[in-house]
Amino acid sequence: MASASARKTQSPERSHADAVVAPDGQVETGQSVNGQVDIGQIAQELTLVADYITRLKNEIGALRANELYRSRLPGAHDELGNVVSATATATNSIMASAEEILGYDDDTLEAYRERVQGKVMEIFEACSFQDITGQRITRVVEHLNQIEKRLSRFASAVNARDTDVAPDKEDAAKQTRKDVLLLHGPQDAGEGVAQSDIDALFD
Amino acid sequence: MGLDLKMPILVVDDYQTMVRIIRNLLKQLGFEDVDDANDGTAALAKLKDKKYGLVISDWNMEPMTGYELLRHVRADENLRVTPFIMVTAESKTENVIAAKKAGVNNYIVKPFNAQTLKSKIEAVCGA
């Protein structure tokens, strides 16, 4: 086993192997100004790295990634799926009632009124979907808030920086096709152009 | 000159709800012969089987978009003069211009009402 003095006077050629990456990303060699390795400084740096790793592990734990992808994200996915399904069911029900009303050809106004009132009540009933979907969307917003909070805390704690990761080839091809050929759906209020402006392009 | 209410119309949209809405609006306007397709590929097959007086198509569909359908229609010697109205939820000027350059006859932004649909059909079909 090397003595403490021998360890303190290792040759400068080994200094690169002794380099330590500090939590702030800077490389520190633990080399003193006269070219000798300062074991004390290296130990201090290793302690810093160990502390950083411990903190990182704690932050990863606080992220509760397993809960996010096993519960929160599938939960949001299911809620949105149910919203789509409920709105489609309600819309079909409303349209079916409206179509029936349009097709009524009763002889008397009284008979017509009675049948229309029955269908109008069905339309009101179908509109109750808004209450249910509103509650489901509120839950999705809660899931997203949780995800946002945890990711934000994690990114801040580990000083995360975004890097460009090469996308999967198949995904990249799909994305390119979407970018070139598909539109991006409805605009938010104030965005896009009005029908009257579009009409002007065709005049 | 009024609209030819017997003119066959093809409605192309991947959302059955939207197809149903447009079908009902057309029915209220008096059109009797309305078919539908749920994407560009199915629409193209129908266009080759039957002569339509008008195509009303959504843009965002897979596997063939409304924009691609429009280009196919305009490139086909037998279909190129078929009036074509694009219906989309997005109204960016560059998309409208791209559709116009590709030969679209008119462009409607969702949501729209029966009056808008009627006025565009009249403008396109020369009523």
Of B60, B93, B100, the CB nearest to A183: B60
Task: Provide the sign of the torsion angle of the four alpha carbons B11, B12, B13, B16, taken in this order.
Answer: positive
Sheet of B106-109: strand order equals B34-37, B9-12, B54-58, B84-88, B106-109
Average pLDDT over every residue of A121-150: 90
Higher local confidence (pLDDT), A203 or B121 = B121
Per-residue pLDDT of A162-195, as tens digits, reads 777 777 888 888 778 777 777 766 766 677 778 8
Residue A122 has pLDDT above 80, yes or no: yes
Contacts of A196 in chain B (CB under 8 A): none
The phi, psi pair for A31, rounded to 5°, reads -95, 130
Bridge partners of B63, per DSSP, are: none
Distance from CA of B92 to the nearest CA of A (A): 5
What angle in degrees, to the nearest 10, is found between the helix axes of B66-75 and B40-49?
30
pLDDT on residue A17: 41
Per-residue pLDDT of A62-92, as tens digits, reads 888 888 888 889 999 999 999 999 999 999 9
Q: Report the share of chain A in percent with pLDDT over 90.
A: 34
Per-residue pLDDT of B50-85, as tens digits, reads 999 999 999 988 889 999 999 999 999 999 999 999
Q: Would you place residue A5 in the very low, low, confident or very high pLDDT band (cuts 50, 70, 90)?
A: very low
Contacts of A98 in chain B (CB under 8 A): 24
Buried b (16+ CB within 10 A) or exposed e, B74-94: eeeeebeebbbbbbbbbbeee
Residue A9 has pLDDT above 70, yes or no: no
Average per-residue pLDDT for chain A: 80
Q: Cα–Cα distance between B4 and B117 in angstroms, integer? A: 15
pLDDT on residue A28: 52
* Residue B51 neighbours by CB under 8 Å, 6+ apart: B8
Residue B115 near chain A (CB below 8 Å): no
Residue boundaries of the structural domains of chain A: 18-62, 64-149
Residue boundaries of the structural domains of chain B: 10-112
Residue A1 has pLDDT above 50, yes or no: no
- Of A4, A35, A30, which is closest to residue A18 (Cα–Cα)? A30
Q: Would you place residue A31 in the very low, low, confident or very high pLDDT band (cuts 50, 70, 90)?
A: low
Report angle CA A59, A62, A67 to the nearest 5 degrees: 135
Bridge partners of B105, per DSSP, are: none
Contacts of B60 in chain A (CB under 8 A): 182-183, 185
Identify the three-state secondary structure at position B38: coil
Q: Cα–Cα distance between A28 and A192 in angstroms, integer? A: 53
Contacts of B97 in chain A (CB under 8 A): 201
Distance from CA of A145 to the nearest CA of B (A): 28
pTM of the model: 0.70
pLDDT on residue A157: 84
Report the topology of domain B10-112: Rossmann fold (3.40.50)
pLDDT on residue A195: 86
Q: Which residue of A has its CA nearest to B103?
A: A202
Lowest-confidence region among A106-115, B36-45, B72-81: A106-115
pLDDT on residue B1: 57
Q: Report the share of chain B in percent with pLDDT over 90.
A: 70
What is the ipTM for the molecules in this complex? 0.78
Q: Cα–Cα distance between B10 and B69 in angstroms, integer? A: 12
